Amino acid sequence: MKIVRNRKLRVISLSQEAYIQRIVKQFEMEETRAVSTPAEPVVLTSKLSDGTEGVLLDENGHERYQSLVGALLYAANTTRIDIAYQTGVLARFVSKPCKHHLKAAHRVLSYLRLNPKFAAHFGNNSSGSQPTIEAFNVGGEGFQMPVEAYSDADWAGCPESRRSTSGGIIRFNGDIISWISKKQKTIAMSSAESEYIALTETAKEIRFIQQWISEVMGVSTPGIIKCDNRAAILLTAADTIHDRTKHFDLKVHFIRDQVTKKNINLEWVSSQEQQADILTKPLAPAIFLRLRELVIKSTD
């Protein structure tokens, strides 16, 4: 990992340019056609796009696939939020990969080859100002800077299992400090339910960060989650369980408890402003590039 500190602008950036160049060379992808997105705008499954069964890789291909996905996961989990969704999908097939899965993994690496200098930035909050020690406790009311998150879900996005994918982006001081992209463990019966489950996953991450701030800094800080599904937001405020929602697993009601205790507040955001969308599904190039601009910056 490369760490660059700009003392004048008071910004720190984390990138993996050298690591990306190394794995591009390791997998002999220097001369491949560069692509603008890490995935085609279609969900990857065990079958080909025409519905026919995929061709399994031989032993050498299987080993190459596992090694490549592992290398991509390291980048996706460290700094490259822009490949987190597709890399997570590729990881679902490591036990039984096919030729089209390896081709999809090569596409992610080709995308990284074209965009090796994107980095996570810290200190460049939207207000342009830095927090002072006074901001930690004003009038005894606690920390005034919230842990802010975006939460989204792609309802029944997997064509084979019909499970949804949760996505979450957590920001502090305007900077992304954590993200989530994972297939849900249960099948959601509605888009509201899938969004509700995603809210729970994001809320758990926020509570961890809030508790860390409390232990290290000795102050409490508010939490805010932005969601584009009004029905899911209403479910967190309901006092009773509706017949259509009583089948929810009890653990997903964690978010309702946190809202009741006022540890976390929910806000509606339009789908066009939902940053976590980049973590839930493969997107068309124009949409992907617009969202990428909001979550990760180039060091050029």
Same domain, 209 and 68: no
Task: Domain of residue 79: give its range.
Answer: 15-118
Mean per-residue pLDDT of the chain: 88
Q: What is the torsional sign of CA 283, 285, 288, 290?
A: negative
| Poorest-pLDDT segment among 22-36, 146-160, 232-246 | 232-246
Is the domain of 168 the same as that of 32?
A: no
215-245, pLDDT tens digit by residue? 988 888 999 999 999 999 988 876 555 555 6
The CATH number of the domain where 151 resides is what?
3.30.420.10
Q: What is the pLDDT of residue 131?
A: 46
Stated pTM of the model = 0.89
Least Cα distance to 199 among 171, 177, 180 occurs for 180
* Tens-place pLDDT, residues 81-128: 999 999 999 999 999 999 999 999 999 999 999 999 999 989 855 444
What is the tally of structural domains in the chain? 2
The answer to the question of residue 195 being in a domain is yes
| 277 and 140 within one domain | yes
Dmax over CA atoms of the chain, in Å, equals: 66
User: Which two three-digit tokens encode residue 16?
Assistant: 């993996």
* pLDDT over 80 at 129, yes or no: no
In a domain, 2, yes or no: no
Q: Is residue 10 part of a domain?
A: no
pLDDT tier, 137 (very low <50, low <70, confident <90, very high otherwise): very low
Q: Residue 185 burial (CB < 10 Å; 0-12/13-18/19+)?
A: exposed
Whether 154 and 104 share a structural domain: no
CA dist 218 → 161, 212, 215 (Å): 44, 9, 5
